[in-house]
Amino acid sequence: MAAGNGAGALAGIRVIDLSRVLGGPFCTQLLGDHGADVIKVEPPSGDETREWGPPFDNQGLSAYYSGINRNKRDIALDIGRPEGREVLLRLLDTADVMIENFKPGTLEKWGLGYAETLAKRFPRLIHARITGFGGDGPLGGFPGYDAMVQAWAGMMSVNGLPESGMTRIGVPLVDIGTGLNTAVGILMAVIERARSGKGQFLEVTLYDAALTFQHPHAPNYFMNGVAPKLTGNSHSTVAPYQVKQTRTCQVLIGAGNQRQFRVLMRELGRPEVADDLRFRTNKDRVANLPALTDILTACVAEEDGLALAMRLMQAGVPCGPLLQVPDVFEHPHTRHRAMIAELDGYRGVGTPIKLGRTPATVRRRPPLFNQHGREVLREAGYGEAEIEGLLRAGILTDERRKAGG
């Protein structure tokens, strides 16, 4: 993902981003990568992920914050005070989208509820809200954190080995999935607005996102009423689909159909296994998995793992070596797919969405605290004296305050 000044597919869309931590910032970075003008509005205490480290860069930005906040401008604004809310309303005059992840009821308490205020004053505004569990219902209003939602949504119950027990998924899949869902919802609302001329409110929750990841476990349960069991690196309904130890590394081998299984056994020098009555169909292989596991273990024990993975992939059999993160980002295919974003010393993960005519670009490094505050206010029509007045009053701030201060 290259540096550049291309317009991008979302050029002309302005996003006021009041969100913090991960789900919302991940969403708005994706929009910013594709050309949206994203204005990140931080509270005086700042986005707490600025402190989530080490590591930190030479400007004091944490890697966590930097990984999800490029292609944005930044203003630090105290919207907990009436004067700050007035500034926010001025910014919304030219906005297409506002995204926030406040506790449900917070904006309403401040007189900024969508139905009561925003929809009337800004009829074309799309207001996206991210919450943990939604604003109502038995869990409504509770804060949402990725790992805790993994627990509530049953994701940990299907992740882990029988010996080790339930395990948290090692990446914040719920937060990132929620961010992706929010981006999709915003773009749906933008498309609909082109027809109706009207904005709308949309709510995306971590809980809902986590439930959608329960495939195939949820449909299996709906069909047979049986709770899924821990299968570790294996698959509950496909065999073989498991991690095996080679001479050099571990690899994950899968064969989802008869052709793949037959090719796999041919490549491993045991073509007769594909005709064994115990392994003739996927159903047979699932039923006789221990015997099949023993055969595969012996077949790959002396193989070079990377070479085996490439050989099987070239033959049409899914296989992957269990790489470490440094290996992944040094791999030539990662570079080929432009999945490293770079600009003036900044490096991050590139965008996964590749548009042919209007590609994503890296135009801005992750912003410093209030780096663009004055610039944003000038664009909103504020004069220099007014900006200085907001600074003196603490509505606009250059220095982070302690939370609650």
* Residues tagged active-site: 175
Q: DSSP letter string over 155-175? A: SGGGSS-TTT-----SS-HHH
Q: DSSP letter string over 189-246? A: HHHHHHHH----EEEEEHHHHHHHT-TTHHHHHHHH-PPP---TTS-SS-SSEEEEE-
Cβ proximity of 43 and 71 under 8 Å: no
Q: Look-up: residue for tokens 């994701």?
A: 155
Instruction: Report how far apart the first and last C-alpha atoms of the chain are (Å, whole number).
Output: 40
- The strand pair at 14-17 and 37-42 is best described as parallel
- The strand pair at 250-254 and 241-245 is best described as antiparallel
Cβ proximity of 306 and 249 under 8 Å: yes
Residues near 3 by Cβ (< 8 Å), separated by ≥ 6? 342, 343, 344, 361, 362, 363
Burial call 140-154: b when 16+ CB within 10 Å, e when fewer: eebebbbeebbebbb
Question: Cα separation of 332 and 12, whole Å?
Answer: 35
Number of H helices, E strands in the chain: 17, 11
- The strand pair at 97-100 and 14-17 is best described as parallel
Cβ proximity of 210 and 153 under 8 Å: yes
- The strand pair at 72-76 and 241-245 is best described as unpaired
Residues near 338 by Cβ (< 8 Å), separated by ≥ 6? 1, 2, 350, 354
Nearest to 401 by CA among 3, 43, 9: 43
Question: The tokens of 151 are what?
Answer: 């627990």
